[in-house]
Amino acid sequence: MLYGLKIAMRYLTASKAQTALLVSGVAVGVFIFIFMSALIGGLAEFILSRTVGDISHVTIEAEIADPAILIDADGFLLAAIEQGRQRTATLRDTETWVPLIETVPGIRAVSPQIAGAGFLTRGAQVAQVSVTGLEIGRESAILNLEGYIIAGSARLGSGVVVLGRRLAEDLDLSVGQVLRLQSSNGVTAVLTLGGIFQTGTGMLDRSSVFVSLPTARTLFALPQGVTRIEIKLDDLNAADDTALRIRALTGLDAVPWTDGAEQLMEALNAQAQTGYFLKTFALITIVIGVASALLLSTYRRRPEIGIMRAMGAGRGFVVFVFVTQGALVGLLGGVTGATLGYLALLPFPRRDEFVSGTLPMDITQGSYGLAIILTVIGAILASILPARAAARVDPVQAIGQ
């Protein structure tokens, strides 16, 4: 149908101003579509990176072993044996678990940790803190400690402690000073302040301290094992699946971050729905615009359609000519809108450099191809009604006018 294409193109180029207007109308719709995609996508990215970017995506916590219960054959409870003294729950055999977990695809980092509570003292001042022991050299595996350091370094040697800015201010500390950390197990260690971080999260900055894993072993009297394993993934959304895999592989109770994050997921979902809604409206606008413009053109060209029919053009040919016009307008408007959308998104900061206060537009989530494809499909659908009207033109009436 090369010839139908030629006629469609001629019709479009014959009324340049009208075609230009129509194409710009479509382009604006596509532009809005792309802007919405980039904004909704970027916003979701931004919110996720702010809320879960710095936390573990899959966590394995040690369970405190239930005291054994002895039951006799007839079902009478004989005795409940309680744990003799308070003991931190541990995951033993970390050495075997960690390499095994690391084989699961999509895992970026595995961080075995020992967590507990303690008191930090400097002179007469005392602060209650939560203590986390991290592997030396992998301090930033989960929380990007290194990125948040404002003084000193994140490097945890033995005898080094890193803590938050609010805590440092409360205790009037500076890097290089010596402090005492007493664990809930009653063990005291003398530590040097190696670095101060500021995450912007109050709880972390006010009451978290990080020490090396060996230091934590001493503090919490744990010669072997850890209290939890934190895992970071390449893809946040794969947490549920990955947790299941780890569970199946190790039998450990791996919990994805999405457990307990239902509200966040709901909010993101609602936001995505709003996006679909607006994008649908952009598409409907395009369809109505194309349909009305082509319907007008059908009306204006009635005599010509009559002549073509009299000269032996079939109804299918007429339909093809008008549908092709719609498709061309859609393609042209789609590509123009997508290009403009891309150019308009260029000045926005990249997704890993989002700054609060500006719109978190993600240029990589513009859905350019989808926008163009949907626009072409929409324009073709929009041209079916005018095309059918054109095919129904009665040549006798059209020529007799």
Partner 1 sequence: MTELLEVSDLTKTFGEGEAATHVLRGLSLSLKTGEMAALLGPSGSGKSTLLTILGTLMKPTSGRHWMLGQDLVAANDVALTEFRNRHIGFVFQFHNLLPDFTALENVIFPTAVRAGRETPAARARGRELLVRVGLESRIGFQTTKLSGGQKQRVAVARALMNSPELVLADEPTGNLDRASAQQVMDLIHEINRDEDTTFLISTHDEKIAASCWRQIVVADGLVTG
Which residue ranges make up the site for partner 1 (CB under 8 A)? 1-4, 6, 10-11, 14, 303-304, 306-315, 317, 395-396, 398-401
Closest CA to 216 of 146, 158, 283, 275: 158
Minimum CB distance to partner 1, residue 396 (Å): 5
Q: Of the two residues 53 and 395, which places its CB atom closer to partner 1 in the complex?
A: 395
**How many of the other CB atoms lie within 10 Å of CB of 164?**
25
- The identity of residue 276, as a single letter, is Y
Minimum CB distance to partner 1, residue 9 (Å): 10
Three-state secondary-structure class, residue 284: helix
Minimum CB distance to partner 1, residue 53 (Å): 58
Minimum CB distance to partner 1, residue 317 (Å): 6
Minimum CB distance to partner 1, residue 31 (Å): 30
Q: Of the two residues 129 and 313, which places its CB atom closer to partner 1 in the complex?
A: 313
Minimum CB distance to partner 1, residue 301 (Å): 9
H-helix or E-strand spanning residue 71: strand 69-71
Q: Of the two residues 15 and 125, which places its CB atom closer to partner 1 in the complex?
A: 15
Three-state secondary-structure class, residue 368: helix
| Pairing relationship of beta strands 188-197 and 160-164 according to DSSP bridges | parallel
Minimum CB distance to partner 1, residue 14 (Å): 4
What are the C-alpha distances in Å from 357 to residues 348, 349, 361? 12, 12, 12
**How many of the other CB atoms lie within 10 Å of CB of 92?**
12
Q: Of the two residues 13 and 356, which places its CB atom closer to partner 1 in the complex?
A: 13
CB 103 within 8 A of CB 250: no
Q: Of the two residues 270 and 396, which places its CB atom closer to partner 1 in the complex?
A: 396
Q: Of the two residues 3 and 276, which places its CB atom closer to partner 1 in the complex?
A: 3
Side-chain-facing half-sphere of 235: CA atoms under 13 Å: 8
Which residue in this structure is represented by tokens 């490097």? 155
Q: Of the two residues 11 and 348, which places its CB atom closer to partner 1 in the complex?
A: 11
Handedness of CA 251, 253, 254, 256 (dihedral sign): positive
CA-CA distance, 133 to 163, in Å (whole number)? Answer: 12
